[in-house]
Chain A
Amino acid sequence: MSLKRYIIRRLAEMAIIFWIIQTVLFFLFHLAPGDPLSRMVDPGMTHEEEMILTEQLGLREPVGTQYLYFLGNFFRGRFGISFHYGRPVARIIAQRLPNTILLFTTAVILSALAGTWLGKLISWRKENRTDKIITVGALVCHTLFLPWIAMLMLWFGAFKLGWFPVTGMISPELWILPQATAPEKALDIAWHMILPMATLFLIHFGSYLLIMRSSMLETLTEDYIFTARAKGLPENVIRDRHAAPNARLPVVTSVGLSLAFSINGGALTETVFSWPGIGRELVFAVSNNDYPLALGCFLLIAAVVLAANLVVDVLYGYLDPRIRY
């Protein structure tokens, strides 16, 4: 099968899977117990007022009719209006998504680079003390409880040392100043990114390191490594030019999926650091029965993960010439 035909077939499969996800999510949200109005009403509101509000939010229609409206709107590029914010879901996601991508994608890329680099180095010193210490350290990092390490980072870096801000993505005190310049604002964002990024880095880098290390160790038993050694090549050349490129395949899969999932952010990280990303919005929408917003967020994640899977599969063909479609 040619690559083109393979991609077309996968796209068709993806469309079907996406529709199934869409349908299941819609009915899950609408059939789950809970009342979207519960947080909008108070004892001062009468029965008639609640009925008016229900009708205006479109919640009086049968679930089947609501589903057809939802599908129709979806194909016209409308993702609905958030009950809570009263604003289009697409606009809310568009506001939050870049913040999440900035933090999480950067953190995933940096931790992947550092993890693979260090994994590559320590696999060459297998069983010595450095390898043991770093492997145990990576395992510890990988299993850290995120809210705990995040609070610890905040307490130490922001409160005790006072070097970093406690919360948020920007310093409002700077951004409200008319004389604040763009470089100052950029540096301000970078300053706010340090603690959350360090937390994410610690959590993610351990897993990349371990994957790279074990993959490298497998590669070292291959014949072409013996051949390279027999040719008299220096160790760093064998490691960097012969072993590492072949060992990177599992890391590519892991990074690809991590990048895809990074768009849903991390509700915990975003909550602790008050980072205005999509993860917090998603949790908020689910807990407040804001169906349109929750559906919008989940569908975006589903679409990106499906697309990332396809990209990783196609990429495999280029990285490993043995793979044919």
Chain B
Amino acid sequence: MKKRSASTTGTRSKRRFCWQQRAACVILAMLITAALAAGCRKVEGRLLRVGLASEPKTLNVWLASDASSRAVLRLVYHCLYERDPETLAFVPWLAESLPVYDPAGKTYTIRLRQARWSDGRPLTSADVAFTVRLIKEFKTPGCSRWKYVLRVETPDPHTVVFRLKKNFATFLSRTLQISILPAHKWKSVANAARHAQKPLAALMRFKNEAPVSSGPFVVRQWRKGAYVYLTRNPYFFGKDKTIAGRRLGPSIDGVLFKFYGTTDVAMLALRKGEMDMYWHHIQPGYMSVLQKNPHIRIVNSPKSAIYFMGFNTRRPPFDDVALRKAVEVLVDKQFIVKRLLQGRGSEMWSVIPEGNKRWYNPGLPRPGQGLNRKQRIKLAFRILSSAGYSWKKPPLDATGRITSRPGELLTPDAKPMAPFTILTPPADYDPARAISGTMIQEWLREIGMPAMARPMEFGALIQQVKVRRNFDAFILGYGRLPLDPDYLRSFFHSRNDRPRGWNISGYHNPEFDRLATAAQREMDPEKRRRLVFAMQAIIAADVPYLPLYLPTLNEAVRTDRFTGWVPMLDGIGNRWSFCLLKAAKGGK
């Protein structure tokens, strides 16, 4: 009896096992069917799929400080003027023509085009005036540029008059570079924020997930964590218009932004054809694999950026310009570009990147260019010796030959130089900057300088150099410098040497301050250019910042679906590209 019962239990167990097996098989079959069905799906229409390195954090223009948010918003909100992709000169965009400046009345008069918002309402001077008043009232980031604007007048729906307190040259090139917002959409938001305890915070927290657009596309859907989907704006003012010799579209149906956690995965997706463009800098290490794919084109563009070594000129040892100049000749920029950037970049000799043709001073000296290590050490030895530095054991012997192990470097008052650190971001944040720090440390030790490269978490590094000012030297970069050179004033004017100020080096030079103030106010473009050239020459001579290198911006696109990308400073992800892209012949 017992035996029968046990065997019955065993049979039941087997039966249950079979049932479980069958259920598992059914689930597996379903998943495989789903995989096959989904795998066979083709992209419909002329939908451009763009890969981003991260999800946009917001579509609120006041909070958008990350690259992904700015990428999406670039297609949604537009400015009055756009840069020509070749000459970088201003081209009227939402404006009808270039502004008319009246020096006597200190006014800029701008005529607007006949344009509409994506909801069909007209875009008028009231929208421009509203945007400016919003900036001034809420003191949004970037508001200080508007402090010289006395008021905005709107004599008619298509004319805006900006009345300035005093002349300043950066009005057109910096101040006016704001996205124009639809007053009818933002009025209620501004009213609500006005009554909040923290008005600016309230304005920045507005979600704006369905922005009313003036650009070629309008946000159709944002599914968090997955994609942002943009479709064509039926009211885009530029459709079929010729601006700066280019007939605008857009010819594509929409843009689908997808997000990729790592560059490795993004590259697999690009090679597999799951995206048409990766809107992010691609490290040189990926190039060889991408180049093998006939459907992928790599676009190398110059960047408006600077990667540099900064010195603390407030305290020893880098309060001495001779020491900074010695460091300058010891640093082999060519080596950094060739080895660390694998040739995808250029050496920097000015604090303005070479791609910014209008303001870059090509006549600056290039100390140490083309020298080998021995020549660099000899040159640095001469600079330091003539400034009163000495060594316990000099790096050059009596015959002028370099000794293998130089002794400690002694300061002009014959004391051993105190060890100093070169702060860098960590290698996982930017390998080029971290390894540059180590290389520079070794180069400086060749002449007896007690240098120590120290990688530091990025936020902590910024706090150390920008807030606490407790550092000797650092290596940092600004990846998106404005095209107007007014940032030189931020970086080096003595007034900005204060906690959280941008004069991190603590550089003080009355002549530079005078030129910077004059350049800000000079309305004659040619005279201003000469002033900016002179400012660059002063910085090159005093070396508070040592420009190191400028990596090329490497972007990749697939050529089998779309053509017509417009190369420009800062890459192909510009408004022109999205207005001019066309479906490739025989494209999938």
Residue from A41, A99, A154 in contact with B268 in the complex, judged by beta carbons closer than 8 Å? A154
Is residue B259 contacting chain A, with contact meaning CB distance below 8 A? yes
In the bound complex, do residue A164 and residue B463 qualify as a contact, i.e. CB atoms below 8 Å apart? no
A56 touches B223 (CB 8 A): no
Q: How many A-B residue pairs have CB under 8 A?
A: 210
Give the contacting residue for B462; candidates A38, A85, A273; CB below 8 A: A38
Closest to B16 in A: A240
Given contact pairs A47-B496, A177-B44, A194 touches B31 in the complex (Cβ within 8 A): yes
What's the nearest-Cβ distance from chain A to residue B55, in Å?
A: 8
**Contact between B142 and A49 (Cβ–Cβ < 8 Å)?**
yes
**9 nearest interchain CB pairs?**
A276-B225, A34-B459, A33-B460, A187-B34, A172-B227, A38-B462, A271-B261, A274-B261, A56-B201
Interface residues of B (CB under 8 A from A): 2-3, 6-7, 9-10, 13-14, 30-31, 33-39, 41, 43-44, 47, 49, 55, 57-58, 60, 63, 65-66, 139, 141-145, 174, 198, 200-201, 204-205, 207, 220-221, 223-227, 229, 256, 258-262, 264-266, 268-269, 271-272, 274, 457-460, 462-464, 466-467, 478, 480-482, 487, 490-491, 496, 498, 500-502
The tally of residues in A whose CB lies under 8 Å from a CB in B reads 77
Provide 21 A-B residue pairs closer than 8 Å at the C-beta atoms, listed in order of the A residue. A33-B460, A33-B464, A42-B65, A47-B498, A47-B502, A49-B143, A53-B200, A56-B198, A56-B201, A84-B57, A95-B225, A151-B265, A155-B268, A158-B272, A168-B226, A175-B226, A175-B227, A190-B31, A234-B7, A240-B13, A276-B225
Residue in chain A with minimal CB distance to B479: A42
Nearest residue, chain B, Cβ from A36: B459
**Residues of A with C-beta under 8 A to B229:** 172, 176
A167 touches B260 (CB 8 A): yes
Cβ B13 vs Cβ A236 within 8 A:
yes
Q: Please state if B226 and A276 are interface contacts (CB–CB under 8 Å).
A: yes
Q: Are A274 and B6 in contact (CB under 8 A)?
A: no
> Taking the complex as formed, is A316 at the interface, i.e. its CB lies under 8 A from any CB of chain B?
no
Chain A residues closer than 8 Å to B221, beta-carbon distance: 176
With A and B bound together, what is the CA distance between A84 and B462 in angstroms?
17
Q: Is the CB of B261 within 8 A of A167?
A: yes
| With contact pairs A57-B201, A154-B265, A158-B272 given, residues A167 and B258 touching in the complex (Cβ less than 8 Å) | yes
Closest chain A residue to B62, Cβ basis: A86
A35 cross-chain contacts in B, Cβ below 8 A: 459-460, 462-463, 466-467
Given the interface pairs A57-B201, A276-B224, the reply to whether A50 lies near B500 with Cβ below 8 Å is: yes
Q: Which residues of chain A from 267 to 291 have a CB within 8 Å of any chain B CB?
A: 270-276, 280, 287-289
Q: How far is the CA of A16 from the CA of B142 in the complex (A)?
A: 46
Beta-carbon contact of A45 and B142 below 8 Å = yes
Cβ distance B14 to chain A, nearest Cβ, rounded Å: 8
* B264 CB to nearest chain A CB (Å): 6
Contact A190 B34 (CB under 8 A): yes
A233 touches B (CB below 8 Å): yes
Is A43 within 8 A of B265, CB to CB?
no
Whether the pair B34, A169 counts as a contact (CB closer than 8 A) is no
Q: How far is the CA of A289 from the CA of B458 in the complex (A)?
A: 10
Within the assembled complex, what's the spacing in Å between the Cα atoms of A168 and B460? 32
Q: Is A51 engaged at the interface, CB distance under 8 Å to the other chain?
A: yes
- Given known pairs A163-B35, A175-B223, A274-B265, the reply for A49 and B139 (CB within 8 Å) is yes
- Chain B residues in 8 Å Cβ range of A174: 38, 41
